[in-house]
Amino acid sequence: MPKPLAKKLSSSLDDALDDVMHELKRASESLEEGAEDQFSKASAALTKAAQALAGEVRDRSAKVTKTVTAEAKDHPVAAATALAVAAAALVGLVVAARRSKAG
């Protein structure tokens, strides 16, 4: 993930979590008075943050998919090599995990 994208995503998530924490703090401070309303607001803020994060991830993954597809079409040999290396690494991890369970 490019640094600017990671920073933007991290900042958005931090802002959303700050909103949730603020609402939860307000709810805990006024536990007797309208706590249900405060918890509802905190829940709504958390839902909004989750939806924003899901939307951001969906948009970014679509862009990455398009980029990877274009690169694979432009450089088929390199793409095939990368896939073979990834497959070999995955097989190695599976074999190592099975050996550690058996031993």
pLDDT tens readout for residues 55-84? 888 888 888 888 888 888 899 898 889 889
**Per-residue tokens: 5:** 């994208």
Residue corresponding to tokens 């073979």: 84
Residue 32: what pLDDT? 62
What's the mean pLDDT when you consider all of the chain?
A: 79
pLDDT for residue 103 is more than 90: no
Summarize pLDDT for 9-58 with one digit per residue, the tens: 666 777 777 777 777 777 666 666 666 777 777 778 878 888 888 888 88
Check residue 75 and report its DSSP letter: -
Buried b (16+ CB within 10 A) or exposed e, 21-56: eebbebbeeeeeeeeeebbebbeebbeebeeeeeee
